[in-house]
Amino acid sequence: MALSLEEVNHVATLARLALSEDEKTALAEQLSLILAYVERLNELDTGEIEPLIHILPVFNVLRKDETLPGSSQEEILANAPLVEEGQYKVPRII
């Protein structure tokens, strides 16, 4: 299953990746190989098998509605490139 350059472009845009033309060509090939590999699963007849939602046979992992102290404002903002008035400062995006 070959991935077209447009599809690579689309996925790169969604992932906010700026790729050069060479990288796009290379990635189209590599991604096509990965898809072809996964495609092999379709050779198996899964008609009788229940779809799997989760890899573990576990349901309903829940916690009580109780609060615990989180991190301090300083800790949470420690890695932020820009901080103002106790908040992350980011370029405007609409």
Partner 1 sequence: MAKEFETVIGLEVHAELKTESKIFCSCSTAFGSEPNTQVCPFCAGFPGALPVLNEKVLELAIRTGIALNCEIPEYCKFDRKNYFYPDLPAAYQISQFDQPICKNGYLEIDVDGKEKRIRINRAHMEEDAGKLVHQGDITTTPFSLVDLNRCGIGLLEIVSEPDMRSAREARAYLEKLRSILLFAGVSDCKMQEGSLRCDANVSVRPTGQKELGTRSEIKNLNSFRALERAIEYEARRHIEAIEDGEELVQETRTWDEEKQLTRSMRSKEEAHDYRYFPDPDLPPLKISREWIEEIRSQMPELPDAARERLVETYGLPHYDAAILTTTPDYLEYFDRVIRLYPDAKLVSNWMMGELNKYLNQTNREISDCLIKAENLAEMLQLIDAGTISGKMAKSVFEEMFNSGKTAPEVVREKGLVQISDEKALSDIIESIINDNPKVVEDYCNGKGKAFGFLVGQVMKATRGQANPAVVNKLLKEKLD
Per-residue exposure over 67-89, b if at least 16 CB sit within 10 Å of its own CB, e if not: eeeeeeeeeebeeeeeeeeeeee
Q: Which range, of 1-9, 20-28, 33-41, 60-68, touches partner 1 by CB under 8 A?
A: 60-68
What is the size of the binding site for partner 1 (CB under 8 A)?
36
Selected binder of partner 1 within 41, 48, 49, 64 (CB under 8 A): 64
Instruction: Assess contact for 82 and 90: CB atoms under 8 A.
Output: yes
- Interface residues toward partner 1, by CB under 8 A: 10, 14, 16, 53-56, 58-68, 70-73, 76-77, 82, 84-94
